[in-house]
A and B are shown apart, each in its own frame.
Chain A
Amino acid sequence: MAANDIVLGAVVITALGFDFTNGFHDSANAMATSVATGALKPKAAVALAGVLNFVGAFLSLSVAATIAKGIVNTDLVTLNVVFAGLLGAIVWNLLTWYFGLPSSSSHALIGGVVGATLVAAGTSAVKGHAIVSKVLLPAVLAPVVAGLVAAIGTYLAYRLTARSADRVITKGFKLGQVGSASLVSLAHGTNDAQKTMGVITLALITNGTINKTATTPFWVIVSCALAISAGTYLGGWRVMRTLGKGLVEIHTPQGFAAEGSTSAVLLVSAHFGFPLSTTHVCTGSILGSGVGKRLATVRWSVAGRMAGAWLVTLPAAALVGGVAFKVADIIGGTLGVLVMAFLMAIFAAGLTSPPAGRRSTTTTSTPTGKSTDSRRR
């Protein structure tokens, strides 16, 4: 029992760390446009994003339920499997971040857990049809829907204001973006904090701490909300760095429509328990807003990279999760888990502190010299 508690503690801490980095990487981007247009001061924007991510985490539990009970059979999964899955997700996230490849933390998480489960308990422990209907299909459709919604929104926004005064329109959409960016932050908190809640809930169920019909305990909700909002707040300072890098080159009405689409798709999907990738939904919306304002500003290479990342992330994270489980299993028991945790910590430290100096710990400079936007989530 005591050994299990150590592993459970490791899972909770690692999951919250994952949640923190999620906020650290993603959330600030929601506010970047509002800061760029001068609608919000950087400090206010970062604080607002942090608060809204916190609040968003309390909105719904449908996605957490999908992750906890919908993708693997809780009777056949052990705590070590959950831990290995989490390691798989984190290692894959760090690798893609280091090499500047687009990825999705959500897909990495699901892939890691599924991979570890497959290795540990075989295909019967994986809920195949639920993964198709709740993860794979929404993963393919969400960016397309987001793009469609953003394209229609952008088209209508330009059409309806075509004969209006520029001064009013510019100021109006700027103010509107404060609202739409706030909703994106809220939706991000809802979608992404719930994924961590789901993993911790799964760990608690497999450990027998709570029974399998139980919902996510309140302390899990609060700690996930705190982790993602703390990550958002601390990572938000990177907004200032990324601003000078030409991160956002879309006009205010497009940005407003894209953010409206992103938040709508994320919030509606959260309601139905679809764990979406916020990265993919954002990218779909931005592409759609380009289509809505004639094809001029569409970066189709982004779409290609996104599709590639989508194909690779699930199997790659599954592979790492599976290997992590196998190695921990060979070493055996709690020791195996602790060794894997230690290896991952060394791996993470190695990737995040390159010899060149401390500067590269932010995503604004990459070893491959690729543009910042490839890692936008």
Chain B
Amino acid sequence: MGSIVLSAPPVDASSLVKVLVASLLGGAGLVAIFALGLAGVSAYVGNTEGGAAVAPGRKPAGLMVALTSFAVVIAGVAYGISVLLNSK
């Protein structure tokens, strides 16, 4: 492909960095926040493996963490899709 002219730098570095950062936030970040929410649910309902309560449950803070986390996950997904839609 000898005669192809490479007039501009072939790498759009800023786009690639944006893709990396946004993927990390959207992919790993939201997954982690969802996991945090599950940890909250677990703290709220208690660890009842094998019938007996292993860890005390009913921690209201757990419920707060859970609700906040799930709200953040839903908002994050909604925000991501809205960005995509508005770029048309």
Contacts and interface: CB of A to CB of B under 8 A. Distances in A.
Interface of A: 59-62, 122-124, 126, 128-129, 132-134, 137-138, 141, 145-146, 148-150, 152-154, 156-158, 160-161, 163-169, 172-173, 176, 179-180, 183, 186, 190, 253, 256-257, 260-265, 267-272, 274
A165 B47 contact: yes
A124 B3 contact: yes
Contacts of B24: 148-149, 152
A150 B48 CA distance: 30
B29 to A, nearest CB: 8
Given A264-B27, A268-B19, A62 B46 contact: no
A284 B78 CA distance: 25
A334 B19 CA distance: 43
Nearest to A136: B10
A265 B23 contact: yes
B15 to A, nearest CB: 5
B38 A173 contact: yes
Interface in B3-43: 3-8, 10-12, 15-16, 18-20, 22-28, 30-32, 34-39, 41-43
20 contacts: A61-B88, A123-B4, A124-B3, A128-B5, A129-B10, A138-B16, A145-B19, A146-B23, A153-B28, A157-B34, A163-B39, A164-B43, A169-B42, A172-B37, A176-B38, A179-B77, A180-B31, A265-B27, A267-B80, A269-B19
Contacts of A270: 84
A260 B81 contact: no
A164 B47 contact: yes
Contacts of A163: 39
A168 B35 CA distance: 11
A198 to B, nearest CB: 15
B77 A123 contact: no
B18 A190 contact: no
Given A149-B28, A153-B31, A168 B45 contact: yes
Nearest to A125: B4
A161 B31 contact: no
Contacts of A156: 28, 31-32, 35
Interface of B: 1-8, 10-12, 15-16, 18-20, 22-28, 30-32, 34-39, 41-43, 45-49, 55, 77, 80-81, 83-85, 87-88
Contacts of A59: 81, 84-85
A267 B32 contact: no
B77 A62 contact: no
Contacts of A271: 22, 83-84, 87
Given A267-B26, A269-B19, A164 B4 contact: no
Contact of A172 (B22, B25, B38): B38
A62 B87 CA distance: 8
A275 to B, nearest CB: 13
Contact of A263 (B27, B45, B85): B27
B23 A157 contact: no
B39 to A, nearest CB: 5
**Which 4 pairs between the two chains have the least Cβ-Cβ distance?**
A128-B4, A264-B27, A164-B42, A264-B26
A201 B71 CA distance: 39
A157 B87 CA distance: 31
A183 to B, nearest CB: 7
Contact of B34 (A166, A168, A176, A183): A176
Nearest to B2: A123
B4 A157 contact: no
Contacts of B37: 172
B35 to A, nearest CB: 4
Given A146-B27, A165-B48, A264-B80, 5 more contacts: A59-B84, A160-B35, A167-B48, A176-B34, A270-B84
Contacts of B77: 179, 183
Given A123-B2, A128-B1, A261 B16 contact: no
Contacts of B41: 164, 168, 172
A133 B32 contact: no
Nearest to A61: B88
